[in-house]
Chains A and B, each alone.
Chain A
Amino acid sequence: MIRRTAFALALSMVPAAAMAEGTMPQMDFQNPLTTAQVLWMVVIMVVLYLTLSRWGLPQIGNILERREHQIASDLAAAHAAKAEADRAVAELHATMKQAREKAQADIAKAEADAKAKAFTDAKVLNDKLDAQLEYSEKQIAEARTTALAAIKPVAADVATTLMARLTGKAPDQAVLAPEIEAALAARKAA
């Protein structure tokens, strides 16, 4: 910068070859236009300054401020929405966990209930079957006893009739009775 300025100074102050007119127009302070341009510059710059400082620059400042505001509020809204979403996700996870635990507990309870019910049902059925079995056995025993009781007079009757038909005379009941008793016993033993 310094070297360039020095070079520029040397070139502009002593441009012997270039000084066709003799002096630099910039240094010609006899020329009324040299000072007149400064006066008009003051007018132009004052107008420019007032235009920019009163109207142009505040407008841009407003735009930039509004944009900053908008960005800040948008960011805040986005942050709030993200927090909300995070909370909702956490809530969802918690609910899902809770629901899963409850479902598992329900399943376990239902299973236990079903097992217990099946157990009691089976027990009731068993008892009932046992009772029926006992009753039936008793009935069978009763029937057998009755049948056995009924078979003796029939056997005596048949034996008497057979003997009467074969021999022509009724057998002695005292002899017949023990014989039938023995035969029945043998049959029962077989």
Chain B
Amino acid sequence: MAGPSIDALGQFRLSTGLGPLGAAINFTNSNEAMLASAAIIVVLFVLGLRSRAIVPGRLQALIELLYEFVRNMCVDTIGEEGLRFFPLVFTLFSFILLGNLLGLFPYFFAFTSHIAVTLSLALFVFAFSTGVGFYTHGFRFFKFFVPEGVPVWLLPLLVPIEIISYLSRPVSLSVRLFANMTAGHVMWEVFAGFMLLLTASFGIFGAFASIVPLGLNVALVALELLVAGLQAYVFAILTCLYLHDAVHMH
């Protein structure tokens, strides 16, 4: 078929960013978006912390809102001990949230749609929470895999299940974020490409008919906005939940 074809996956293709310097050090376009996310967070803090007012202005209210939201999430999920992990959870949450939101803009790379990125984050969370568990409880942390109040003869069955479900945590954590972001972006691209296909195939009628995929894409913007916030929240709250398990062992 001549004319446009739908290249839904091209948007995920990695290339080097930052010109020749980036090419020399393998700094990718995905890293450009990460750098932009981190920079936006830091700039928000710099601007928000300019006045340090008792009655906050808009930007100060925004970062205070973010601060208290994540802080309450930590304290509510992990308990008072959760404040130790608050900076970590905040960094993860804000980084993923900004990555998801920036990825929604055209020509911006959605780095959270890369399994390598999300799996690295998830493996870090997994390793960190397991480390916290062993650091807090020593070898007694192994008892985490032995459910309480279960008949002894069931243990040979249950302990492997517990271990498998524990080990599958990084997989589900990473695939959830990766799949949600990828799916949204693929759908956008498919519907947008469909508009071009309609116009190329049916001329003026196709152009009019493409109002349908356009409407779908507009609706998808709202959905993806929700998903972007929700998936960042889910990642952060699951991190808190794993840390809770590591600290409290139940």
Task: Convert A147-186 into 0s and 1s, putting 1 for each residue whose CB lies closer than 8 angstroms to a CB of B.
Answer: 0000000000000000000000000000000000000000
Q: Mark A40-70, 1 if CB is under 8 A from B, else 0.
A: 1110110111011101110111011011001
A residues lining the B interface (CB < 8 Å): 1, 4-5, 7-9, 11-12, 15, 17-21, 24-27, 29, 31-42, 44-45, 47-49, 51-53, 55-57, 59-61, 63-64, 66-67, 70
- CB nearest neighbor in B for A47: B38
- CB <8 Å contact, A40 and B9: no
Known: A11-B186, A48-B41. A5 touches B87 (CB 8 A): no
- Assess whether B114 is in contact with A5, with CB atoms less than 8 Å apart: no
Overall SS of chain A's interface = helix
> Is B86 on the interface with A (CB-CB < 8 A)?
yes
Chain B residues numbered 59-86 whose CB sits less than 8 Å from any CB in chain A: 60, 63-64, 67-68, 86
Q: Are A41 and B186 in contact (CB under 8 A)?
A: no
User: Are the C-beta atoms of A48 and B38 separated by less than 8 Å?
Assistant: yes
A40 touching B34 in the complex, CB below 8 Å, given contacts A11-B186, A26-B178, A33-B14: yes
Residues of B within 8 A of A (CB): 5-10, 12-16, 26-28, 30-31, 34-35, 38, 41-42, 45, 48-49, 52, 54, 56, 60, 63-64, 67-68, 86-88, 90-91, 94-95, 111, 113-117, 120, 175-176, 178-180, 182-184, 186-187, 189-190, 234
Partner of A34, one of B95, B114, B180: B114
Cα(A52)–Cα(B49), bound, Å: 12
Q: How far is the CA of A4 from the CA of B224 in the complex (A)?
A: 12
Which chain A positions have C-beta within 8 A of B26? 32-33, 36, 39-40
B95 contact from A33, A40, A45, Cβ within 8 A = A45
Q: Which of A7, A21, A26, A57 has the most CB of B within 10 A?
A: A26
Tell me, in angstroms, the Cα distance from A40 to B120 when the chains sit together: 12
What chain B residues lie within 8 Å of A1 (beta carbons)? Answer: 234
Q: A29 vs B14: C-alpha distance in the bound complex, in angstroms?
A: 11
